Amino acid sequence: MSAKEQYDELTQRTREVALLGSTSAVLHWDQETYMPPEGNELRSEQLSMLAGMAHDKFTDKRIGDLIAGLESSDLVKDPLSPEAVNIRELRHQYDKETKLPKSLVEEMTRTTSRAQKEWVQARKDSDFKRFQPWLEKVLELKRQQAEAYGYEGEPYNALLDDYEPGATVDDIEKVFANLRDELVDLLDKIKGAPKQPDVSIVEREYDVDKQKIFGEMVASAMGFNFKAGRLDITTHPFCTGIGYGDTRILTRYNPKRLNDALFGTMHEAGHGLYESGLPKTDHFGTPMGESVSLGIHESQSRMWENQVGRSKPFWQHFFPILQNLFKESLHGVKLDDFYAAINNVAPSYIRVEADECTYNLHILLRFELERALLRGDLKPADVPDEWNSRFEKYLGIKVDKDSNGCLQDVHWSFGLVGYFPTYTLGNIYSAQFFNQAKKELPDLEQQFERGELVNLRHWLKEKIHSQGQRFRATDLVEEVTGSPLDHRPTIDYMKAKYGEIYGF
Amino acid sequence: MSAKEQYDELTQRTREVALLGSTSAVLHWDQETYMPPEGNELRSEQLSMLAGMAHDKFTDKRIGDLIAGLESSDLVKDPLSPEAVNIRELRHQYDKETKLPKSLVEEMTRTTSRAQKEWVQARKDSDFKRFQPWLEKVLELKRQQAEAYGYEGEPYNALLDDYEPGATVDDIEKVFANLRDELVDLLDKIKGAPKQPDVSIVEREYDVDKQKIFGEMVASAMGFNFKAGRLDITTHPFCTGIGYGDTRILTRYNPKRLNDALFGTMHEAGHGLYESGLPKTDHFGTPMGESVSLGIHESQSRMWENQVGRSKPFWQHFFPILQNLFKESLHGVKLDDFYAAINNVAPSYIRVEADECTYNLHILLRFELERALLRGDLKPADVPDEWNSRFEKYLGIKVDKDSNGCLQDVHWSFGLVGYFPTYTLGNIYSAQFFNQAKKELPDLEQQFERGELVNLRHWLKEKIHSQGQRFRATDLVEEVTGSPLDHRPTIDYMKAKYGEIYGF
């Protein structure tokens, strides 16, 4: 069998795994949109069967043999060729999937399934003690998972790799600490600032149908193709790249607050542009057709949500249109006041409701805690105290109850340890990428002022989307911007924006 | 291995096949409702992979061995026990699926895929010559399929069995001929009748949103559970029983004609009640949890559409509600005139637009032709002439062009030979079942007059739905009504109804 034939067999096999994954994606989308409630049990049965089939197909020994054969073939000569990239990343994925003992996977499924139920009740009752034993169990299993994977440095690296392949605590720790210190300072300045936005502007009556029209218009202007995608309503917004020709975004509308759907839709459309910009026609079912990491994915959504959607140039074009749609609620509102309102900074308990500035502080706190938990430096029993004291230190407010504190997020009960940092990585990357885009497209902001968003989209597609997994995240950011992970662009961007809005 | 253990393994395996089928059903539903157009290619790839997996799993030699082992076990002692029924019907399905050579299946897929494209163009241009060679190819493959299956009597029996298991030409031929002769007589009477309905009543402005509200209300009254089902819009209405807890119906609305969605929704909801009434909780993935045949399925939809939906007692309750919804278009309309309008009989070219009376003549003609084609008594080249001459004989109108005649239906290009008779079998069964229901529920029509439809639903569920495949269709009709397939109830019902409406 020639290397070419082996490679074709390998990618034929991974394509089947991807088709099973894309089938699950349709089922999951349906579950979150239109499925009747009593269909839930059957849906779980379908999804669990498909996941089992995909796992069996991907961990087939034949896949391992094909990868091993190809690793010593000519196809890996140019390490950045699609073939070499696919072989490199499939090796990485195959090793991870085959290293986990089945018994551990099953115990994780059982434990997290129960932990989620306990967490729901614990959060409802704001009763950390109820959740604590389950957090302990999950952490123990995550430690076993890290040991099974193997790692350099500390076990957290092995878990982080599930979401941000190749990233390590060493890469991010210092950048995160710097970011945290600068954000705490910035937040102090904002709180004591002379000018304060009038947020009531965005908390009036906003008809849902009109919000939808506006959201679709903006998504179209961004380049989201509704012939190869959809926008639907759901409880917890997300984006799902089902496969070539089919990318779906989901949002939710609040008839009394504009921000949720407005920035939520741009956020998900940003994810959607990444998914649909991946070279899936040529590389569907292989790493070259897939996104790099959660952090890079988040950088795409955050850039459209924040660097674009919360920018003055964007609203110079879109505000008159919005004002025309919501004649009453936006009657007589000045662009500057609207711009200040959508950029209001106010420390609050709940991460998913946090503003652009304080959001990262929520994440950094979680990263610090879960890392300490995994190392054993922090005991689960001490999480509430540690959470609350750091929360006050960083955000300046006292947590009133654990449901507003360490019990608010679903992640740990799902076993998602090492996931949180990708949110802030996404923010940092997005500022770095956007800086670079402005350098390479010098009239970008003037384009925004004319409502032209497509050139940014083309730039992102060329530099990031079309690359698939050619580069790992840390390499991609260097490749695109010329520098490694760096908190400076984030801080500079925020200082400039909030300085203008808050007058300091 | 005990018989119990073998049986459990067998049903575990068929459950996986059913889960794959139900997954395909969700994908197909999505394709016909919300999928963006550019998702089509990926969807075909997903569906074809799932179909292949289901086929491979079901034709696994292990399934054959398990069935063979069980056939000589105690589990088949009582031939009507769920175990015995499942073993009997799985044997039937397994033999059919394993008898077809893979090469034939593949050639059928290739040929019908091309034939469909040619048919679309041929119908567009009303050019039978273009389609003729493809019809010839399809027929040749269908003959090979019949030979591979094996049959008694003529090859048509083997094909009919795909849609109406166990039914034979001998069972239906005479009943169909009698029905045809009586319908031709009845149609003559109707044409020459003194009274004629004013159909313009149902061809006014009917707001689509209100049509939807009314359709959902009627479906609910029928007992369709919207917590375990949905109603959506599509191009070609259908019902899909995805599995336990999830049955979806689809309809289409015409803002200028009431009948389409009104009876279309009742029709699909009738299918839906059958699907959701099957004992899927206990028997999902086995024949005991599945419908008997297309004919029995159609009997359920037709009963709700016609015997209920086109009856006077039903409208005595529902007409005032409808009139209140469409205040303008139904202003001053009398119940009797509305009732006559929805029951108007008028020969026309297109089967799917035909009224309740002439519909069967469309079907009987197709049955006669495809049977003659398969026997070789009719040459494909002669189909247009033969179609047109019979059409004029039965319906009294001359076909103006083949796109209004023998090119109108998609079935033959799909390779669906033997499918057509199930439509008329459904109509005949529905009249037989409904007659019996009226005998056993003597105040049924008074219930309808009060808008109470659930008792009919309960009766159908008990007698038919909950039986799964315990009986084959021909046995089921005898079991439920005490008599074999019989055209008399259909004719009596029509004579009584049209006699009153047309005044003869």
How confident is the model at residue B309, as a pLDDT?
98
pLDDT, tens only, B163-203? 999 999 999 999 999 999 999 999 999 999 989 999 999 99
Quick check: A242 and B23 CB within 8 A?
Answer: no
**Are A196 and A502 spatial neighbours (Cβ–Cβ below 8 Å)?**
yes
A22 touching B, CB under 8 A? yes
Quick check: B38 and A242 CB within 8 A?
Answer: no
* Prediction ipTM score: 0.94
Distance from the B37 Cα atom to the nearest Cα atom in chain A, whole angstroms: 6
How confident is the model at residue B212, as a pLDDT?
97
A with B: how many residue pairs have Cβ under 8 Å apart? 99
> Chain A: residue nearest B50 by CA?
A20
CA distance B418 to B429: 18
**Are B354 and B363 spatial neighbours (Cβ–Cβ below 8 Å)?**
no
CATH number assigned to the domain with residue range B149-504, chosen from the 4 options 3.30.565.10, 1.10.1370.30, 2.40.50.100, 3.40.640.10: 1.10.1370.30
> Chain A: residue nearest B46 by CA?
A19
Of A19, A45, A242, the CB nearest to B19: A45
pLDDT, tens only, A144-174? 999 999 999 999 999 999 999 999 999 999 9
Supply A352's token pair: 């998913």
Q: A226 to chain B: which residues are within 8 Å by CB? A: 36
> Chain A: residue nearest B25 by CA?
A27
A316 touching B, CB under 8 A? no
Place of tokens 């096949």: B17
**Are A46 and A79 spatial neighbours (Cβ–Cβ below 8 Å)?**
no
How confident is the model at residue A200, as a pLDDT?
97
Of A19, A34, A37, the CB nearest to B49: A19
Residues facing residue A248 across a β-bridge:
A230, A240
How confident is the model at residue A365, as a pLDDT?
98
Give the other-Cβ count within 10 Å of B368's Cβ: 22
B52 touching A, CB under 8 A? no
B397: confidence class by pLDDT, cuts 50, 70, 90: very high
| pTM for this prediction | 0.95
3-class SS of residue B293: coil
How confident is the model at residue A322, as a pLDDT?
98
CA distance A344 to A398: 20
How confident is the model at residue B64, as a pLDDT?
98
B477: confidence class by pLDDT, cuts 50, 70, 90: very high
Quick check: A246 and B49 CB within 8 A?
Answer: no
Place of tokens 């491979």: B56
| Mean pLDDT (whole number) for B69-97 | 97
B123: confidence class by pLDDT, cuts 50, 70, 90: very high
Quick check: B50 and A16 CB within 8 A?
Answer: no
Of B45, B228, B244, the CB nearest to A19: B45
pLDDT, tens only, B136-153? 999 999 999 999 999 999
Q: Which residues contact A302 (CB under 8 A, 6 or more apart)?
A: A267, A270, A426, A427, A430
Q: B43 to chain A: which residues are within 8 Å by CB? A: 246
Helical packing angle, A155-163 and A128-149, nearest 10°: 90
Of B38, B53, B229, the CB nearest to A36: B229
- Residue A216's alpha-carbon distances to A30, A258, A315, B493, in angstroms, are 20, 14, 16, 53
How confident is the model at residue A39, as a pLDDT?
96
Of B19, B34, B227, the CB nearest to A230: B34
Give the other-Cβ count within 10 Å of A233's Cβ: 14
Average pLDDT, chain B: 97
Q: DSSP state, A334?
A: -
How confident is the model at residue A215, as a pLDDT?
98
Q: B232 to chain A: which residues are within 8 Å by CB? A: 34
B322: confidence class by pLDDT, cuts 50, 70, 90: very high
Quick check: B246 and A45 CB within 8 A?
Answer: no
A234: confidence class by pLDDT, cuts 50, 70, 90: very high
| Mean pLDDT (whole number) for B273-297 | 97
Q: Which candidate in B42, B233, B248 is best for mutational testing of the A interface (most A CBs within 10 A)? A: B42
How confident is the model at residue B36, as a pLDDT?
98
CA distance B486 to B483: 8
Q: A36 to chain B: which residues are within 8 Å by CB? A: 226-230, 245-246, 248
Place of tokens 């049977």: B371
Range 222-281 of B in CB contact (< 8 A) with A: 225-230, 232, 242-246, 248
% residues pLDDT > 70 (chain B): 100
A313: confidence class by pLDDT, cuts 50, 70, 90: very high
- Residue B498's alpha-carbon distances to B184, B191, B400, B424, in angstroms, are 14, 11, 28, 19
Quick check: A23 and B46 CB within 8 A?
Answer: yes
Q: A43 to chain B: which residues are within 8 Å by CB? A: 246
A389: confidence class by pLDDT, cuts 50, 70, 90: very high
B56 touching A, CB under 8 A? no
Q: B39 to chain A: which residues are within 8 Å by CB? A: 228, 242-243, 245-246
B49 touching A, CB under 8 A? yes
Long-range contacts of A262-266 (CB under 8 A, 24+ apart): A262/A211, A262/A214, A262/A215, A262/A309, A262/A342, A263/A305, A263/A306, A263/A309, A263/A310, A263/A342, A264/A237, A265/A215, A265/A218, A265/A219, A265/A231, A266/A215, A266/A218, A266/A219, A266/A222, A266/A304, A266/A305, A266/A308, A266/A309
| B45 carries an active-site annotation | no
Catalytic residue, chosen from B83, B164, B182, B268, is B268
Distance from the B23 Cα atom to the nearest Cα atom in chain A, whole angstroms: 7
pLDDT, tens only, A399-445? 999 999 999 999 999 999 999 999 999 999 999 999 999 999 999 99
Q: Which candidate in B17, B24, B30 is best for mutational testing of the A interface (most A CBs within 10 A)? A: B30
pLDDT, tens only, A172-188? 999 999 999 999 999 99
3-class SS of residue A436: helix
Distance from the B102 Cα atom to the nearest Cα atom in chain A, whole angstroms: 21
Distance from the A37 Cα atom to the nearest Cα atom in chain B, whole angstroms: 6
Of B16, B244, B246, the CB nearest to A49: B16
CA distance B352 to A364: 63
How confident is the model at residue B481, as a pLDDT?
98
Quick check: A19 and B232 CB within 8 A?
Answer: no
Of A35, A40, A245, the CB nearest to B41: A245
Distance from the A299 Cα atom to the nearest Cα atom in chain B, whole angstroms: 26
pLDDT, tens only, A35-94? 999 999 999 999 999 999 999 999 999 999 999 999 999 999 999 999 999 999 999 999
B27-46 b/e (C-beta count within 10 Å ≥ 16 → b): bbbbbbbbbbebbeebbebb
Distance from the A22 Cα atom to the nearest Cα atom in chain B, whole angstroms: 8
How confident is the model at residue B81, as a pLDDT?
98
Average pLDDT, chain A: 97
Phi, psi of A78 (to 5 degrees): -90, 105
| Mean pLDDT (whole number) for B294-306 | 98
| Mean pLDDT (whole number) for B359-366 | 98
Quick check: A23 and B22 CB within 8 A?
Answer: no
